[in-house]
Amino acid sequence: MYIHQHICISPQQTNGVVDLEIINSSQDGKLLAIEPQLQGVPPSMLRRMSKAVRMGMGAGLPLINEKNIDGIIIGTANGGMEDCIRFLNQIIDYDEGLLTPANFVQSTPNAIAGQLSLITKNRTYNATHVHNGLAFENALTDARMSLLEKPGTQYLVGGVDEISSYNYNIDYLAGWYDKTKSNDDLYSTHTPGTIAGEGAAMFIINDIADNAFGKIEAIDAFQSTDKEQVEARFKNFLDSYIPDTNHTLLISGENGDSRFLPAYATCEFAIGSSIPVARFKHLTGEYPTSSSFALWLACHAFHEQGLPAHFYKNEHNLTQIDRAILYNQYQGKQHSFILVSR
């Protein structure tokens, strides 16, 4: 399957005029996405939208308006969590009194795909995958199957997640975040915890090779807490799909949390030191569907035939990029490998 148009909303300059040389800094351990300017959304609707929905509209609406879309397939772990916690707070604070339903209706994770469909009057296939760190990978698998079932169709596929007071606080208490860390030196502090992030990256995906930004060759997504299993599956992935590793880039989801370095290191070692490693979470922070940003970054790297120096983990002499392998894992439990080629 081939990637055509794409839009990426993130904490950095990725939407509209792309500039990855300048890096916006994190504040208090968070990287907030730059708000999109929404076109064609009624103000009454806009007022009710959570940031996840606004980011989803900002990335998705321009793409749908350009194309005939045969399905809207979204991966989001949390959807509109901010609305969820607002409603939850109402329930407790008003002791289950008569509440207003707006936050409740907006809080369902399928609000993003639902609103995209509603605004564009698109009544095609509509799916919301919410399996945490594998939500976006499942959305891609869904699109791949859809293309096999109906050649000649095309899909809007995206990954969206927001930082909400809810998930930030609960994940913070669970030890996933460290408020003292920043994206200036994310990879040099060898301690647990990382910075929180958010974003939305969406793609038009079809089976037409002409003028495509990239081709998704293979996906492997699984759950495991065993480093050996991750290594075995990665080696198997390389053996199955990557005959030669010339002009190849490894895009790594390394996030500065010392607990997960071994898993990333294992994969870097397995592929060999001649393959340059590019990291991206100093731009995005950590969130469950961040692999959608990594896929956007791969397309950007193909287009530019390079990336700014700050992405690279080590010195490299890569002058041509034909292939990118994305390895991302979430909270040590969920792992995915995605192979994209030019």
Partner 1 sequence: MSRIVVTGIGIITAIGTTADENRDSLVHAKTGIGKARFFNSRYTAHLPFGEINQATEQLAERLGIENNTATRTDLLALHAAKQAITDANLSKEDLSGSDTALIGGSTVGGMCLTDEMYADANATGISNSPYLTSYSNSANTSFLQLYFNIGGLINTFNTACSSSANAIMYGARLLKNGVAKRVIAGGVDSLSKYTVNGFNALMILSGEPCKPFDRERKGLNLGEGAAFLILEREEDASGKKIYAEVKGYGNSNDAFHPSSTSAEGEGPYLSMKRALDIAGLSPAAIDFINAHGTATENNDETESAAMLRLFDQAPAFASTKSYTGHTLGAAGAVEAVYSILSLQHQEVYSSLHFKDAIDSTGLKPVTQYEKRDLNHVMSNSFGFGGNCTSLIFSKM
Say whether residue 336 binds partner 1 (CB under 8 A): no
CB of 72 to partner 1, least distance (A): 7
Q: Helix 227-241 to helix 261-271 angle, to the nearest 10 degrees? A: 30
Output the smallest distance, CB 172 to partner 1, in A. Answer: 9
Name the token pair of 28.
Answer: 């208090």
Selected from 10, 15, 26, 128, the binder of partner 1 by CB under 8 A is 128
10: tokens are: 């993130």
Residue 313 DSSP label: S
Of 21, 28, 149, 244, the one binding partner 1 by CB under 8 A: 149
Contact 206, 153 (CB under 8 A): yes
Amino acid at 130: V
Contacts of 200 (CB under 8 A, 6+ apart): 8, 9, 33, 52, 55, 56, 58, 59, 60, 158, 159, 160, 292
> 229 in the Ramachandran plot: left (φ > 0), alpha (ψ -120 to 50) or beta?
alpha
24, 37, 64, 186, 194 from 30: Cα distances, Å: 11, 22, 30, 12, 9
- Would you count residue 65 as binding partner 1 (CB under 8 A)? no
Q: Which residues, numbered 276-305, are part of the site for partner 1 (CB under 8 A)?
A: none
Q: How far is the CB of 247 from partner 1 (least distance, A)?
A: 29
Told to check if 92 binds partner 1 by CB under 8 A, we report yes
**23 makes contact with partner 1 (CB under 8 A):** no
Q: Which of 126, 306, 312, 332 binds partner 1 (CB under 8 A)?
A: 126
x/- map, 170-209, partner 1, by CB under 8 A:
xx-xx-----------------------------------
Which residues in this chain contact partner 1 in the complex, by CB under 8 A? 72, 77-79, 84-85, 87-92, 95-96, 98-101, 104-111, 113-115, 117-118, 120-132, 134-135, 138, 141-142, 144-145, 148-149, 165-166, 169-171, 173-174, 221-223, 333
